Amino acid sequence: MEEREKNAVAKPATRSIFFRHWWVIPLVVCVLAVGTYAVLVNTGKTQLRNAAKERKALPPAIPVVAVQAKKTDFNVYITGLGSVTPLNTVTVRTRVDGQLMEVLYREGQIVSRGDLLARIDPRPFEVQLTQAEGQMARDAAQLQNARIDLERFRTLWAQDSVAKQQLDTQEALVRQLEGTIKNDQGQIDSAKLNLVYCDITAPISGRVGLRLVDPGNIVHATDTNGLVVITQLQPMTVIFPIPEDSLAQVLAGLKSGQHQPVEAYDREMRQRLAMGTLLTIDNQIDPTTGTVRLRAVFPNEKNELFPSQFVNARLLVDTRRGVIVIPAPAIQRGPQGTFVYVVRPDRTTTVRPVTVGEIQEGEASIKTGLSPGELVVVDGAERLREGVRVELKAPGGGPPPKAY
């Protein structure tokens, strides 16, 4: 009984103490929450500071332009600065002396072979023809009379009525007059030919140049300037030199009978003017320059090439099948030889030694050292070294290229 009474007295006392100190529990919870928050904040700040330190420790990525190496066919060319040279250029001159009566062409006109260009006064030659024909008529009459007399002398000599000397003299006279007739015929033909020469015609087809002599002037066959110059435009040729070291490749193509294509470009190698083929090669090497001259022929149907024009002639000598090709600016040179900067998947660079073949038109063929699809740096390589991080950029500032 006494224990029950004690317990009954203790329980109300315990409840009263609990209800008097209930506020302690929320206070403890708040303290724990604030402490936990402070720990978390300090931890986050520490992590941010560490990350900032790491970013400061790492150098910034270098912006570069990179492209992928590709496997393709690679054309090998030989280029030389050449001059456009017509196949035929003719200075038209008169063959007879006389007054130039008419000029029947326009400057710069395209003429065909046989077209009438000018006329010389034909009257002096018509007079010469008349004189030659008259002379021949007189000599022909004398020859006829001499032949009749010869027949008479032969009859008389057969009758032993004249001396043999008279017969021989008459035979000689007949032969002499026959020679005179031939000479007269030559004079007639010469006069007729001069009349033909009074009409000056185009010896070739082509473009007529500027007029050198005006109508009314007296012209001579010995004049050095002539009347006009005609230049053939179709086809047109280009003569250009190549180094003597490249001669073997060109000769191999000529011996095989292949039509080696030649392209004509402007001086800046930006615009292609015409397409043609190699025609022939010179028979000797110029010892002063170590070059040999080639001649290429072009149809020139649209008059793309003009006489004496300077062009860059590019001769295709070989086509390499399935080679690795990269832009030429990617090739770097150092004490150890040629190399490129290859961008690895983690956007870091590595130095890769390569063996370079031919370089044509801003592209380089790679014999060894690269595989198709590998990224090589073409711009910004001056700041690179082994293991440097890079940021890929396009040439125009856009997204990086996926393939070359």
The gap between the terminal CA atoms of the chain, to the nearest Å, is 102
Q: Where are the alpha helices (DSSP H) in 159-239?
A: 164-197
Residue in this structure with the two tokens 């040629």, named with its chain if needed:
338
pLDDT-based confidence at 403, cuts 50/70/90? Answer: very low
Query: What single string gives the DSSP state of each residue in 318-343?
Result: EEEEEEEEEEGGG-EEETTEEEEEEE
Least confident interval from 3-17, 187-201, 222-236, 299-313: 3-17
Q: Which long-range contacts (CB under 8 A, 24 or more apart) does 111-116 make?
A: 111/202, 111/205, 111/206, 111/207, 111/208, 111/230, 112/202, 112/205, 113/202, 113/203, 113/204, 113/205, 114/201, 114/202, 115/201, 115/202, 116/199, 116/200, 116/201
CA distance linking residue 105 with residue 109, whole number of Å: 7
Highest mean pLDDT among 11-15, 64-68, 228-232, 391-395: 228-232
Q: Which comes out higher in pLDDT, residue 121 or 44?
A: 121
Residue 356 pLDDT exceeds 70:
yes
Q: Is the pTM of this model over 0.75?
A: no
Q: Which comes out higher in pLDDT, residue 188 or 319?
A: 188
pLDDT-based confidence at 404, cuts 50/70/90? Answer: very low
How large is the greatest C-alpha to C-alpha distance in the chain, in angstroms? 218
Copy the structure tokens of residue 346: 């983690």
Cβ burial 256-273 (10 Å sphere, 16+ → b, else e): eeeebbbbbbeeeeeeeb
Q: CB within 8 A of 385, min separation 6: which ones?
A: 349, 351
Q: Are strands 110-111 and 206-208 parallel, antiparallel or unpaired?
A: antiparallel
Q: Name the percent of the chain lying above pLDDT 90.
A: 49
Copy the structure tokens of residue 359: 């370089």
Residue 32 pLDDT exceeds 70:
no
For residue 197, what are the CA distances in angstroms to 59, 186, 380, 400? 90, 16, 74, 75
CA distance linking residue 251 with residue 16, whole number of Å: 120
CA distance linking residue 215 with residue 238, whole number of Å: 36
Query: Which pLDDT score is estimated for 297?
Result: 95
Q: CB within 8 A of 250, min separation 6: which ones?
A: 78, 242, 260, 278, 281, 294, 315, 317
Q: Which comes out higher in pLDDT, residue 34 or 190?
A: 190
Q: CB within 8 A of 34, min separation 6: which ones?
A: none
pLDDT-based confidence at 258, cuts 50/70/90? Answer: confident
Q: Are 371 and 325 in contact (CB under 8 A)?
A: no
> Which residues face 311 on adjacent strands?
82
- The domains located in the chain, with CATH, are 62-74+321-393 (2.40.420.20), 77-87+233-320 (2.40.30.170), 95-230 (2.40.50.100)
Other CB atoms within a 10 A radius of the CB of residue 255 amount to 8
